[in-house]
Amino acid sequence: MTTLDIKRSGRHQAANAPAWARAVLEAFRAEDIRNLVFLPDTVMGRLLALAEADAQHFFRLVSVHREEEAVGILAGLFMGGQRGAMLVQSSGLGNALNALGSLAMAYHIPFPLLVSLRGELGEFNPAQLHMGRAVPGCLDALYIPHVTLRGTDDLETILSGALKTCFTTEGPFGILLSAQLTGWKPEA
Amino acid sequence: MERLEATRAAVELAGESPIVGGVGNSTFDLVACDRPRHFYMWNSMGMASSIALGLALARPDLRVVVLDGDGSILMNLGSLATQRTAGVENLVHVIWDNGGWEITGGQPAGSPFGIDLETVARGCGFPRTATVSELDEFRRVFAEAIADTQHAWVIVGRVARGDSPYRPSKSCIGLRDRFMVALAGSS
């Protein structure tokens, strides 16, 4: 697969949203996951643009200034009776580790934890390598289950299955987006 | 003023509002006035303001109260900007300013170095803010904030140093369930 033509400036267009983004939002809709709590990166930006353009206005986008905040907001949403998802880059997962352990895991707060993976395939930025490749290990260390999406085969099955397990487990569930699925930028 | 007295006043005046406690003594004094509609954190310092935002978003019919610590809000200062970005007005955010980290040995933080948390909140765009030092002042301002359903409030309450002897249950899942049942039953 070749590098994806990702816009370097301007907003993402919902009409150009990739198939994986549509599949994620449909899986969320089926599980009544309406709050998308995010700090954007270029990959998530494409999914968020699609969510914003939703004809039924099903999704509420909640932006944070540091990814750790998303864990607290999702805890408040869940205890208040609403489901949500956390959308961050691998770097952002690093910023959220203690809250994931001491709040989400300890207090049994379920939500899908979407992580776009830097530092794996096609990485141009040397500073992204370390937290990027640490993602699976960090989740394992916290006993947070996770799946990695690498292609569009069985996407709907994996997504719906992961979400079902998430709410049965009553904790965060990692859905890791490989650059094999989402593409990568050749340079900044 | 004494943090425990001010906490008792807040609980009394909060009516049916859920109350989120910050980690450490902010929560411990709240335990002294325990209600099922209190949420207590054992760690995740700084997350009280974020949890309160999530609650406010999920339950626009409720007025959500946070009793936070100065050290806690300093750890998650960006959350004040996040609250304004989210556009919720159903939040009353009290910050107990005792000039430092209490439970860890009283190391100074925040106001002893000239940090003015009310000004920080104003700078983030909070429409209503106050700093109070006396209990009767706090009662008056907090009651006004609870009644003012059109605006989010940040109230900095200057309190004395001192540890609280109270502790919440160590069953985190129990605390979660009790809180959720209380919320489901209130409107």
Predicted confidence (pLDDT) per residue in B148-161, tens digit: 999 999 999 999 99
pLDDT of residue A7: 47
Is the predicted pLDDT of residue A130 greater than 60, yes or no?
yes
Q: Nearest CB to A79: which of B76, B81, B176?
A: B176
CA atoms of B15 and A67, how far apart (whole Å):
33
Nearest to A102 among B43, B52, B53 (CB): B43
For residue B187, what pLDDT is reported? 62
With cut-offs at 50, 70 and 90, classify the pLDDT of residue A10.
low
| pLDDT recorded at residue A141 | 98
Tell me whether residues A76 and B78 touch, CB distance under 8 A: no
The answer on pLDDT for A3 being more than 90 is no
Q: How much is the mean pLDDT over chain B?
A: 97
The average pLDDT across B11-33 equals 97
Chain B residues whose beta carbon lies within 8 Å of the beta carbon of residue A35: 57
A2 band by pLDDT with thresholds 50, 70 and 90: very low
Tens of pLDDT, residue by residue over A98-119, are: 999 999 999 999 999 999 999 9
The C-alpha atoms of residue B55 and residue A76 are separated, in whole angstroms, by: 4
**Residue A181: band (very low, low, confident or very high) from pLDDT cuts 50, 70, 90:** very high
E-only strand ranges, chain A = 33-38, 60-63, 83-89, 111-116, 146-149, 172-177
Residues B57, A102: C-beta atoms closer than 8 Å: no
A188 confidence band (pLDDT: 50, 70, 90): confident
Question: pLDDT tens across A73-93, in order?
Answer: 999 999 999 999 999 999 999
H or E element at residue B108: strand B107-108
Confidence of residue A1 (pLDDT cuts 50, 70, 90): very low
What number is the average pLDDT over the span B20-34?
A: 97
| pLDDT at residue A71, rounded to an integer | 98
Among A32, A34, A38, A73, which would you mutate to test the B interface (most chain B Cβ atoms within 10 Å of its Cβ)?
A73
Q: Do A106 and B172 lie within an 8 Å CB cutoff? A: yes
Contacts of B73 (CB under 8 A, 6+ apart): B22, B46, B49, B79, B80, B95, B117
Please tell me the predicted confidence (pLDDT) of residue A164.
Answer: 98
User: Distance, in angstroms, between B134 CA and closest chain A CA?
Assistant: 31
Q: pLDDT, tens digit, for every residue of B102-147? A: 989 999 999 999 999 999 999 999 999 999 999 999 999 999 999 9
CB within 8 Å: B53 and A65: no
Q: What is the mean pLDDT of chain A?
A: 94
Angle between helices A68-79 and B172-184 (to 10 degrees): 50
- Residues in chain B with CB shorter than 8 Å from the CB of A172 are none
CB contact under 8 A, A77 and B52: no
Rounded to whole angstroms, how far apart are CA atoms B187 and B36?
A: 14
Section A5-32 average pLDDT: 85
Please say if the pLDDT value at position B20 is more than 90: yes
The Cα A64–Cα B43 span in angstroms is 20
For residue A185, what pLDDT band results from cuts at 50, 70 and 90? confident
Nearest by CB: A108 against B42, B52, B176: B176
Q: Tell me what pLDDT residue A187 has.
A: 86
Average pLDDT of span A11-40: 95
